[in-house]
Structure 1
């Protein structure tokens, strides 16, 4: 019994250690973030251990430690958001509490507790109600909470503490010290910018959506039976990431607005446009989810019937995927795309080709009706069309996905305009090669093929 318990304990420790190691290995910045929090707490603890610093702030130094714990966030935008809210709320609440305390003190000893209680009730009720306002909820929810806490503490302490002004001053100073240490450590030591995280997430999701679309169609037409493990694995790593990314995108976009200009991102970078691109991609991912459900359904079209639309569907999925990947590359490099218009035109041509194949599908099903001799002609034709219904559904969803991708393109073009993406520039090697080789007279089709291969 004891040996079994020890064995279970050892196995649990080993498995927990492996999970923790994998969590840190997947993103080493998590380990760095833990070290940054430890460094910030170590720095703020000096105000408590060093006598000159402690005499300057007094016993309220512990509020600086609490400020570091609650303000320090993973991203710089998160620290700025919480730091600004906490500083503003603490300063305004302390000033208001001191003013109300002076007014209550002038009213006499009998009226003082009633005035203080009434002020706490009214301001706490009004501030709590303001949290239901969407703008306040999105930008100042944390600040409202700190305002209620600080005002209540300072207002109630003023009834028993004689030097209320000194108490409010110490409270404000310790909060400012904690916020300054948090921002200094967050910006100086391996900063993680919420705007850059949002930028990379949009790029990754666009690539995953493109791969998901292309792989689903390829698996459907490659064999009669779809590999369930492959489909489910791709499902968790592809379009589902896009569908589940709204909360993360909204949070990062909100925090990115608090950050100063950094790297390639200017002061007024259009972060809200990234949310619109994410919404358009989720609109497209819904159709990809429906396509994946249709492909994995129990009712499947026969392989001979699939061949009738195989080439047109594969071409449309490939062109749609290329459009998404080209937009992903352009956003990643923050440069204007030189071939997005050409790729969209090719996608539209693939849509027209698939629509033409769908219109000619009944005539292609007619030989199956003649081949069967045991049934009437109407029943045979009905049976053949029913067999083709899953294939027609897949083709229709592909056309719908291409239409929704054009919606993603519209939001992408708006981002290119608002963010002032740089024009695309060829490499010097390509420029030298083009200057050394004389221009060849290629047809439009050859130029299109060459451009698509380069992309």
Structure 2
């Protein structure tokens, strides 16, 4: 699932205006493809894991089936990212003047969803409660609401529908990714409860040591002849 975090870079690539910049970096966004065909491997691993002796934090009733559910949701998310990747082809882009109207909410959804997926992947890897993903999901949902409002306004103002179709499609795919990410978070939260994940440790910066003033009184030595 770690590979899905590449969605956070989609906004930067899609809204670039230089064709050369996009072509040089599209391959960096293809890490998600390994998730698309992961079903068989995940099922095999889950089946083997059920028969393993109890060890460490993996007890006899460890919820392996929940991992398969999470894998299925991850693939749904990857399919949408795969569809988004197709729109990095500049020939299918909406004109810049129309695309720029949706840039802010799309960038926000892309960035926050990517950060949420990164936190969720870390939660599974380290077996900690995925509490850090929630703020990112909330922000991505706010971006989705803002986007819906902009789309409605744009259509009411008589935008060229044919020219706007690619940008609108990208926008709705991003909304779908946000929805998938929210479902993933719920499933991982359920897993953390079933498997008794630990709370994530928050590192607190040590307070700067303050030098205490020297309160030792000065001694005066008197010599008597």
Tell me the TM-score normalised to structure 1 length.
0.43
The answer to whether the 8 Å contact 1:301/1:390 transfers is: yes
Is 1:210 the counterpart of 2:8? The answer is no
Aligned residues: 208
CA distance in 2, matches of 1:433, 1:360: 51
The answer to whether the 8 Å contact 1:295/1:394 transfers is: no
Q: Deviation string for 1:323-356 (max 9, x for gaps)? A: 1111112112211133333222222111111111
Is 1:354 the counterpart of 2:147? The answer is yes
CA distance in 1, matches of 2:104, 2:12: 11
Gaps of 5+ in 2: 211-225
Q: CA deviation at 1:274?
A: 1.0
Structure 2 residue aligned with 1:242: 35
Which structure has greater helix proportion? 1
Q: Secondary structure at the match of 1:260?
A: coil
Q: Secondary structure at the match of 2:196?
A: coil
Match of 1:277 among 66, 70, 73: 70
Q: CA deviation at 1:227?
A: 3.0
CA distance in 1, matches of 2:207, 2:152: 46
Is 1:231 the counterpart of 2:26? The answer is yes
Gaps of 5+ in 1: 1-205, 367-380, 437-455
Structure 2 residue aligned with 1:418: 194
The answer to whether the 8 Å contact 1:214/1:321 transfers is: yes
CA distance in 2, matches of 1:224, 1:363: 30
Structure 1 residue aligned with 2:162: 386
Q: CA deviation at 1:233?
A: 4.9
CA distance in 2, matches of 1:291, 1:425: 35
CA distance in 1, matches of 2:147, 2:115: 17
Q: CA deviation at 1:363?
A: 5.9
Structure 2 residue aligned with 1:195: none
The answer to whether the 8 Å contact 1:270/1:415 transfers is: yes
Is 1:301 the counterpart of 2:77? The answer is no
The answer to whether the 8 Å contact 2:42/2:68 transfers is: yes
Match of 2:14 among 194, 203, 220: 220
The answer to whether the 8 Å contact 2:11/2:110 transfers is: yes
CA distance in 2, matches of 1:340, 1:227: 29
Q: CA deviation at 1:302?
A: 1.4
CA distance in 2, matches of 1:360, 1:269: 49
Structure with the bigger RCO (C-alpha within 8 Å, sep 6+) is 2
Structure 2 residue aligned with 1:257: 50
Tell me the TM-score normalised to structure 2 length.
0.83
CA distance in 1, matches of 2:166, 2:18: 13
CA distance in 1, matches of 2:135, 2:100: 28
Structure 1 residue aligned with 2:219: none
